[in-house]
Every structure is written in C-alpha cells, then in structure tokens.
C-alpha cells in the first residue's frame, strides 16, 4: 500500500503531537522520537500489508487504544474507513481527541468503557469488519474482549511478539467457545533492536454466544483455558 506525501506529513505530525501529550500524561513508556516512529507508528502500519485491510469503507474498532496505537496511524492512512478507539481510561481518550485536531482526522470516534460492557451493547456487538488490539491482554482474554465486537465473517488482529506458542496453546478453548479461527500469522521485522514481531489474524466464524463477554473483571481473573 502506498503512503502519500500528505499522509507521510501527518504521520510526522502525529509523532510530534504524541510526544507532546506523552510528556504531560503517561501515555506510553516510549518517549524517544525515533522509538515513537518505529515502535509505535511503523509497528501500527504493518496491518496495511494484510489482504483484509485493502478495502475501503471498513468499520474498524481498536480495543485498548491507550495513546492511540494502532488507531491513529491506520486512520491517517485509510481515510475512507471509519475508526473507533475504545478504552476505559478517559484521560487517554481525551489526549487522542486533542491529537486528532492538528491531524485533521475526521474518520475517528472515541468510546470510553470496559470491553466487558460494550461487548454486550447492541450498538457495538457484531458491528465491526476488523477489531485491532496491541498490547492489551493474553490471547485467551483478548479473544473474549474482542471477538464479540466482530461481525461474523470479520476479523480480529492481535499484535504479538514471536513468542506466542504458549499463548496460542492456552487460547484453544477461547477460540472454540468464541468461534474464532486463526487464519494467518504475519511475521515482520522492524529496524534496529525492535526485531521480529507478528500479527495474528483470526476470523470470526459465527455469532458470539450471548454469555460472552462475561462480567467486568471475569475474563482476566478467570480466563477461558
């Protein structure tokens, strides 16, 4: 996928405004400009390589968006898709809201709340073509958080390190109960010490059983295993 000069300029602006916000609030441990560029911005944009990201008009939910990754870089580069960033921490979403102004982003909406509640809300349940999640939870917990939002036939993308064998093994029950099928492991390499990472892509094959997600705190405290 080609990134236009205007998008490149706006990604640089994102690097700047993120660093400004991060110096006021503790959005992320990444504080060095190069590290923000590689570890946050480039890492987010890897999803653009995926077949499922090629269409326009997609409705995409980023769960646990925190300081806005992968939400903001993807929203800059996919202007014809609608993005929603969800997180339980209002001050982080407020910071993202401020960042969207100089970035001229009008395809981003922010929703405050817990996944366990929003996943049972008909406004969000089964609504999204793609759900993205980076650094949110182990796979078995993440699937319970994220799968309820995905349309049947849609996808969930998890940003992970290369060491996922145990997480994958421990997600077998979650994958079965939440009708999620692992369709692809997309490995990539970032420059310098960032090294090899991967995206795990799951397809949701059927509607989510009404009992998921369970009550607030239960998916994490008592993961499907």
* Residue number, nearest CB to ligand SAM: 66
d(CA 160, CA 166): 12
d(CA 147, CA 145): 6
Considering the complex, state which of residue 81 and residue 86 has its C-beta at the smaller distance from ligand SAM.
86
Considering the complex, state which of residue 134 and residue 204 has its C-beta at the smaller distance from ligand SAM.
134
Whether the CB-CB separation of 157 and 201 falls below 8 Å is answered with yes
Considering the complex, state which of residue 37 and residue 115 has its C-beta at the smaller distance from ligand SAM.
115
Whether the CB-CB separation of 60 and 130 falls below 8 Å is answered with yes
Considering the complex, state which of residue 137 and residue 180 has its C-beta at the smaller distance from ligand SAM.
137
- The minimum distance between CB 172 and ligand SAM, in angstroms, equals 22
Measured from the Cβ of residue 106, the count of other Cβ atoms closer than 10 Å reads 9
- The minimum distance between CB 109 and ligand SAM, in angstroms, equals 16
- The minimum distance between CB 5 and ligand SAM, in angstroms, equals 26
d(CA 225, CA 169): 9
Considering the complex, state which of residue 82 and residue 220 has its C-beta at the smaller distance from ligand SAM.
220
- The minimum distance between CB 112 and ligand SAM, in angstroms, equals 9
- The minimum distance between CB 62 and ligand SAM, in angstroms, equals 7
Q: Is 7 helix (H, G, I), strand (E, B) or coil?
A: helix
Whether the CB-CB separation of 194 and 109 falls below 8 Å is answered with no
**Residues found near ligand SAM in the complex (CB under 6 A):** 28, 64-67, 69, 87-89, 92, 114-116, 134-136
d(CA 156, CA 61): 9
């Amino acid at each position: 996928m080609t990134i236009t000069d205007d998008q490149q300029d706006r990604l640089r602006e994102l690097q700047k405004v993120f660093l400004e916000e991060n110096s006021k609030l503790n959005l992320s441990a990444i504080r060095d400009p190069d590290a923000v560029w590689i570890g946050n911005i480039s890492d987010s944009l890897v999803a653009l390589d995926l077949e499922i990201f090629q269409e326009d008009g997609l409705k995409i939910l980023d769960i646990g968006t925190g300081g806005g990754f992968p939400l903001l870089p993807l929203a800059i580069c996919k202007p014809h898709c609608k993005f929603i960033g969800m997180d339980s921490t209002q001050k982080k979403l407020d910071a993202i809201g401020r960042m969207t102004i100089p970035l001229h982003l009008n395809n981003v909406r922010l929703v405050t709340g817990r996944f366990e509640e929003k996943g049972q809300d008909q406004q969000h349940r089964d609504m999204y073509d793609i759900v993205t999640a980076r650094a949110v939870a182990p796979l078995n917990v993440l699937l319970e958080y994220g799968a309820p939002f995905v349309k049947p036939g849609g996808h969930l993308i998890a940003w992970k390190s290369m060491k996922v064998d145990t997480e994958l093994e421990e997600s077998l029950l979650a994958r079965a109960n939440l009708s999620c099928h692992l369709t692809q492991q997309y490995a990539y390499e970032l420059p310098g010490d960032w090294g090899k990472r991967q995206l795990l892509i799951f397809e949701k094959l059927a509607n989510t059983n009404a009992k998921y997600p369970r009550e607030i705190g239960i998916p994490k405290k008592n993961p499907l295993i």
